[in-house]
């Protein structure tokens, strides 16, 4: 169906892109998102704490530390000066690891123009407080719309221009509902859109954030079982039941089922549980093969968000009284010294349940602890 000329005049005008995007964090994902924004036609500046890296990005269009051998678009500015990075920013992407968020927000605050939207691109939940990253940022930056950008997005593939999709979520204010095209979610989505990167707009920040945190833990579980010699049936079962755990947590916290089955949930779960390009899947695989934690990644420091996410996800689940058996199993192996093989054997012989839970059926497993 072609839209007639006259109809085109009544189509809502496109959301207005943010002219200048600041990216906080010059690691693999920060560099990838800066590339996405540059390719979409934005002015882009990256802040990083490592001068060698910011110099390389600005002067040579490369990030040899985090994305070696990958060419970046020319014209991405980069600095170690937070004030310079944020001075004229119209929108900010925060892409340092989840555990750094509170301090990074506090460091950003003095330099941010009031009302500038901040999208969190790390995946996790704050340990000790159990706050979602959006809640942490809202505490530290009360004068700014807070959102998230999350989905099935390996950094290197994104920079190489493989078509990639992700969700951009901000809570919608009443004004946003009256004029969605002026909402931060719509404006940031259009700001990042190109033939290579396809954002989807969401108003379900909770659902998006829970998806990003839980998928990391399930990916470690998938890696553990794959590393221990189990095959695709097992991985498919973990992905499916892991999505149920993601849905359980998201819905209790006010997130939506459609978000869990979208890019930031099922999409990212599928990607991260299917490839050792995922650091979470890779860690699980190495542990499943019998390596000690300190032997993994040849002892190099690597960001594996699922390790800390498994603590915060389980802590949160216990506070609100929900059971997440796969996440609990990962926590037991990573943080309680439990034997990997026995833990997953116990997982498999828990009481027989119904799918859907609503059937309310459960009875002892013939090989379970009560057998
Ligand atoms: N790498 C990927 O494919 C993707 C990563 N993410 C998420 O992005 C977040 C960042 O991870 P990556 O960029 O992958 O890690 P990375 O290890 O590639 O980069 C981390 C960056 O954060 C900086 N950093 C670490 N601690 C800091 C601190 N205390 N203060 C200031 N800067 C600090 C490092 O210097 C580095 O520039 C994680 O939450 C991850 O889950 C999300 C989607 C894709
Ligand atoms: O979140 C990611 C892809 O969407 C990156 O996964 P890892 O953190 O497991 O490497």
Of 160, 162, 150, the residue nearest 188 (C-alpha): 150
Q: What is the mean pLDDT of residues 130-148?
A: 97
pLDDT in tens, 165-193: 999 999 999 999 999 899 999 999 999 99
228 is in an annotated binding site: no
- So what's the pLDDT on residue 208? 98
Yes or no: say if 280 and 302 are a contact pair by the CB < 8 Å rule: no
Q: Is the model's pLDDT at 362 over the cut of 90?
A: no
Parallel/antiparallel/unpaired status of strands 362-363 and 352-353 = antiparallel
Q: CB within 6 Å of ligand 1 — which residues?
A: 25-30, 48-50, 66, 95-98, 100, 121-124, 153-155, 303, 305
Is 152 near ligand 2, meaning CB less than 6 Å away?
yes
pLDDT of residue 5: 53
Q: Check the annotation: does 15 bind a ligand.
A: no
Cα 280 to middle of ligand 2, angstroms: 7
Q: Residue 23 CB: number of other CB atoms within 10 A? A: 31
- Rounded to the nearest 10 degrees, what angle do helices 305-320 and 205-227 cross at? 120
How much is the average pLDDT of 145-157?
A: 98
Q: Is the pLDDT of residue 94 over 50?
A: yes
Residue-wise DSSP of 119-187: EE----B-TTT--BHHHHHHHH-TTS-EEEEESS--HHHHHTT--EEEEEEEPPPHHHHHSGGGSHHHH
194 is in an annotated binding site: no
Q: Please identify, in words, the CATH class of the domain defined by 207-363.
A: mainly alpha
Mean pLDDT (the chain, rounded): 95
**φ/ψ (deg, to 5) at 354:** -105, 155
Where does the chain hold its CATH 1.10.1040.10 domain(s)? 207-363
Residue nearest ligand 1's atom 28 by CA = 100
Q: Tens digits of per-residue pLDDT, 220-240?
A: 999 999 999 999 999 999 999
What is the value of pTM for the model shown? 0.95
Point out the least confidently predicted range of 11-20, 84-93, 99-108, 295-304.
11-20
pLDDT at position 12, please? Answer: 56
User: Would you say residue 1 has pLDDT above 70?
Assistant: no
254-284 pLDDT, tens digit each: 999 999 999 999 999 999 999 999 999 999 9
Classify residue 249 as exposed, middle or buried by CB count within 10 Å of its CB (0-12, 13-18, 19+).
Answer: buried
Determine which one of 65, 109, 113, 215 is catalytic.
Answer: 215
Does 215 participate in catalysis according to the annotation? yes
Task: Give the homologous superfamily in CATH for domain 20-203.
Answer: NAD(P)-binding Rossmann-like Domain (3.40.50.720)
Which 8-state DSSP code applies to residue 80?
S
CA distance 224 to 343: 11
CATH 3.40.50.720 domain locations along the chain: 20-203
Cα–Cα distance between 197 and 194 in angstroms, integer?
5
Which helix H or strand E contains 280, and what residues bound it?
helix 279-288
> What is the percentage of the chain residues whose pLDDT exceeds 70?
96
pLDDT at 9 over 60: no
The whole-angstrom separation of Cα 176 and Cα 171 is: 9
Taken in order 155, 159, 161, 163, the sign of the CA dihedral is positive
**What are the structure tokens assigned to 56, written together?**
């390389």
Are 216 and 302 within 8 A, CB to CB? no
pLDDT band, residue 368 (cuts 50/70/90): confident
């Amino acid at each position: 169906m072609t839209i007639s000329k006259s109809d085109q005049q009544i189509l809502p005008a496109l959301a207005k892109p943010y002219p200048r995007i600041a990216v906080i964090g010059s690691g693999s994902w920060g560099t990838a998102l800066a590339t996405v924004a540059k390719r979409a036609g934005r002015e882009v500046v990256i802040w990083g704490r490592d001068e060698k890296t910011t110099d390389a990005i600005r002067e040579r269009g490369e990030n040899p530390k985090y994305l070696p051998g990958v060419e970046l678009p020319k014209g991405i500015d980069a600095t170690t000066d937070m004030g310079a990075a944020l001075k004229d920013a119209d929108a900010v992407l925060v892409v340092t690891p989840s555990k750094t968020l509170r301090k990074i927000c506090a460091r950003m605050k003095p330099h941010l123009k009031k009302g500038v939207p901040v999208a969190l691109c790390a995946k996790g939940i704050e340990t000790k407080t159990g706050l979602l990253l959006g809640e942490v940022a809202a505490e530290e930056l009360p004068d700014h719309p807070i959102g998230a950008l999350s989905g099935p997005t390996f950094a290197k593939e994104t920079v190489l221009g493989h078509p990639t999709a992700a969700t951009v979520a901000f809570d919608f204010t009443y004004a946003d509902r009256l004029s969605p095209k002026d909402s931060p979610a719509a404006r940031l989505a259009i700001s990042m859109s190109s033939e290579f990167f396809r954002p989807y707009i969401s108003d379900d920040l909770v659902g998006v954030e829970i998806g990003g945190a839980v998928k990391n833990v399930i990916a470690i579980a998938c890696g553990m079982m794959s590393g221990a010699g189990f095959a695709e049936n097992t991985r498919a079962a973990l992905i499916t039941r892991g999505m149920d755990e993601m849905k359980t947590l998201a819905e209790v916290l006010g997130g939506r089922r459609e978000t869990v089955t979208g890019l930031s949930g099922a999409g990212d779960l599928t990607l991260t549980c299917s490839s050792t390009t995922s650091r979470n899947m890779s860690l699980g695989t190495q542990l499943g093969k019998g390596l000690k934690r300190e032997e993994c990644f040849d002892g190099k420091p690597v960001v594996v968000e699922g390790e800390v996410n498994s603590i915060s996800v389980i802590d949160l689940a216990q506070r609100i009284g929900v059971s997440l058996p796969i996440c609990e199993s990962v926590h037991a192996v990573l943080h309680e010294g439990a034997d990997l093989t026995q833990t997953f054997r116990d997982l498999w012989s828990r009481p027989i349940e119904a799918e859907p839970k609503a059937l309310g059926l459960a009875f002892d497993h013939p090989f379970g602890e009560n057998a």
